[in-house]
């Protein structure tokens, strides 16, 4: 695994998909490598949602279900941009495909913007909650 990352350092492609031993596939940017761990930015995972096609878009006797695939934060309850993943938990890694990388970068920008609007301390969070209650 170390050799693969060393090869990539010359071509600036640090955007990876990691397959973890638990089955998760994590899309991320590798920012630092240690002997036993990778430090990654904004790890995201694949999410799939099934939706029923509205009746006006199908025949009266049909009931179609479509599946949408997207990305979501891998760890939802933190605003930390960097996460450490132990190498022993990684089965495989590969470069992100260009179209997936473009989608991932777009979502990163959106998440970074949303994070700027989030409270930065416990006091800020309490103040925001109180404002919601007062409304």
Q: What is the pLDDT of residues 53-105, one digit of tens each?
A: 787 777 777 778 888 888 888 998 888 889 999 999 999 999 999 999 999 99
Letter string b/e over residues 61-94, b meaning 16 or more CB atoms within 10 A of that residue's CB: eeeeeeeeeebeebeeeeeeeebebeeeebeebe
Q: What is the mean pLDDT of residues 94-123?
A: 86
Which of 5-14, 22-31, 108-117 has maximum average pLDDT? 22-31
Full-prediction pTM beyond 0.75?
A: no
How much is the pLDDT for 7? 43
Residue count (the chain): 135
How much is the pLDDT for 62? 77
CB atoms within 10 A of CB 100: 15
Contacts from 122-126 at CB under 8 Å and sequence distance 24+? Answer: none
Q: What percent of the chain has pLDDT over 70?
A: 90
Q: How distant, in Å, are the alpha carbons of 16, 44, 49, 121, 133 from that of 66? A: 28, 22, 8, 41, 38
Letter string b/e over residues 12-37, b meaning 16 or more CB atoms within 10 A of that residue's CB: eebbbbbebeeeeebbbbbeebeeee
How much is the pLDDT for 23? 93
Written as six digits, the tokens of 60 are: 């009266």
d(CA 66, CA 52): 6
């Amino acid at each position: 695994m170390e050799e693969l990352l060393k090869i990539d350092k010359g071509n600036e492609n640090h955007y990876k998909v990691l397959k973890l031993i638990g089955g998760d596939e994590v899309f991320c940017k590798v920012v630092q490598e240690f002997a036993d761990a990778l430090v990654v930015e904004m790890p995201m995972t694949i999410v799939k949602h099934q939706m029923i096609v509205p009746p006006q878009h199908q025949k009266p006797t049909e009931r179609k279900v479509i599946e949408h695939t997207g990305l979501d934060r891998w760890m939802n309850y933190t605003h930390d941009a960097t996460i450490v993943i132990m190498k022993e938990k990684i089965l495989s890694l590969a470069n992100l495909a260009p179209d997936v990388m473009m989608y991932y970068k777009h979502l990163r920008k959106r998440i970074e913007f949303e994070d700027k609007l989030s409270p930065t301390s416990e006091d800020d969070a309490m103040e925001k909650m109180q404002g919601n209650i007062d409304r």
